Structure 1
Amino acid sequence: MFGNENILIAEIDVKADRITVYDDYLGRFRDRLKLNNQTGSLTITNIRPEHAGHYKIKTIRGHYSFSLNAFRVSVYARLPVPVLSRDCSSSSSSCSLVCSAVNVGHVTLSWYKGTSLLSSISVSDLNMSLSLPLDVEYQDKNTYICVLNNPISNQTQHLNISQLCHTCSDSVHWCGPTEAVIRLVLSALVGVATVIVLVYEIRSRRAERDQAHIHTSET
C-alpha cells in the first residue's frame, strides 16, 4: 500500500497463485511496478521523486492473524553542479559573487571558506531555484567552495577569484565609488579638451582663408 490513504498498489494471493498489480493510481506507477511471487519483493523501475512517501506491507495469515510493516522511501534526483557568477549589479567595493542551482529539491546550498561553513540555504520543495551570495576581496588568497548536497550525494564548485572577479562587461563595476567618479571626471575633461581643440582648429583655418582672400584682393 502507498501513501497515507493506504492505496493498494500490489497484491499476492498465495492460495490462488495470483499476482495483481494496481499501477494506474493517478498514473504515478504505471508500467513501473514488478512483484516477485517467490519473495514478495516489489520493484519500482525508473523511480522518480514523486514515488517518495510511506509504504506499508500487510501480510494476512488465516482469518484473524496479520502483520503490518511500514516504512518511508525517499527519492533524490541527480544533483547538478552549482554555477558561480559575478553579481555585476552590486555596488560593493569588493567582488560580489553568487552560487546558484536550478530545478532542485530537498537540498542545501552552502559556501565554505576552506573547511569552515560561511553560509547556507535549504529547500524542501521540488523544482526550486536557489542562490547564495558571497563577497570577497580582490586580493583574497583563501580557498572558497560552493557545495550543493542532499543526504546521499553532493556537487562542489571551486571559486577562482582571479578569473571570476574580472568578467563584468562594464568596467565601472570593477572599481569602487571613488575611482568611478575620478574616471567620469577624467572622461568629461577629455571631452571638453577635444571640443576646445576643434574650435581652435576651425577658427585658425577660417583666419587663414580670410588672410589669403585679403592678400589676393590687394594684388
Structure 2
Amino acid sequence: MASMTSVSVKDGESLSLNSGLTEIKNNSFIKWMFGNETNLISEINKRADRIAVYDDVLDGRFRDRLKLDNQTGSLTIINIRPEHAGDYERWITTEDENSYSSVRYKFFLAVFVEISVNEGESLTVDSDLTEIKDYDWIRWMFGDENILIAEINVQADRITVYDDYLGRFRDRLKLDNQTGSLTITDITTEHAGDYKLLTRSSREIWLSESFSIKAFRVSVSARPPVSDSVHCCGPTEAVIRLVLSALVGVATVIILVYDIRSRRAERDQAHIHKSET
C-alpha cells in the first residue's frame, strides 16, 4: 500500500509535489497519476528519452497548468482550482537486467475556497451535489483536527449532526438530506475556520482509499461595538423618537410664543399705566 501525505492550498495558488529525488537515473522512469482511476497526467522515461505532460485529459482541467521538472521529476500545478483537489500518485520505477523496483507515493490535495460572512448571518456551504445516491457517505469535518460535525450514511439510514461535541455549534447546524449541503445559522467568530466535505461511495470503502473532498476556509467579521452615541433601533422605536422630537419642538415654540406675548403684555400694561399718570 502506498504511503500518503495530505497537503492543502488556497484556490488560485500554485503547488509543487515533490518527487523526493535530486536527479533521475538513466534506468528510471516517473509517472504522475490523478484521481480514483489513476489517470496519467505526466511522465519522464529516461531510457526512452521521453518527457511528457498530458494536460488535456479529464476534460482539460489541467490544461496549461502542469510543469514537470526534468531533473527531479517534481510536478508543479499552477493556478489551482477546486476541481484539482483529490488523489495524486507518484510512481518511481527502476529496472535493469538484474533488478526491478517500483515505489508508489500518494498525495491528497485539498483546495480551500475562501468564504467571508458577517457575524449574525447564516451560511450555507454547498456540496454541489444535486442528489445523494444509495451508497453515498457524506461527512463534514471542522478545524485542523478534522472533527466530525455532521454526516449522512444512506446505507445505514443515518443522518446526524454532532452540534454538542464542540458546544459552539449547538442548535446552529442544519444538514440538507437531499444534497448534503451544510447550513450554519447565527454564525459567530468562533465558527471561523476550515470546513471539509468528504464524499465517498460506501460500497467502495473496503476496496479503495480514494474519496472526493471539498474544502472551505470561512472568515467571520465581528459586529462593530455599539457606543452610547450610536444606537440601533427598530422601526417602532424610531417612530416614537421622531414623534417625541416633534412634540418637544412644538412645546419649545409654544413656550417661546407665550414668553413673547407675556413680555409684550407687560410692556403694554406699563405704557397704559404711564399714560394715566
TM-score category, normalised to shorter length: 0.3 to 0.5
State the TM-score, normalizing by the size of structure 2.
0.39
State the TM-score, normalizing by the size of structure 1.
0.45
Give the structure, 1 or 2, with the largest relative contact order (CA under 8 Å, sep 6 or more).
Answer: 2
Q: Which has the higher helix share?
A: 1
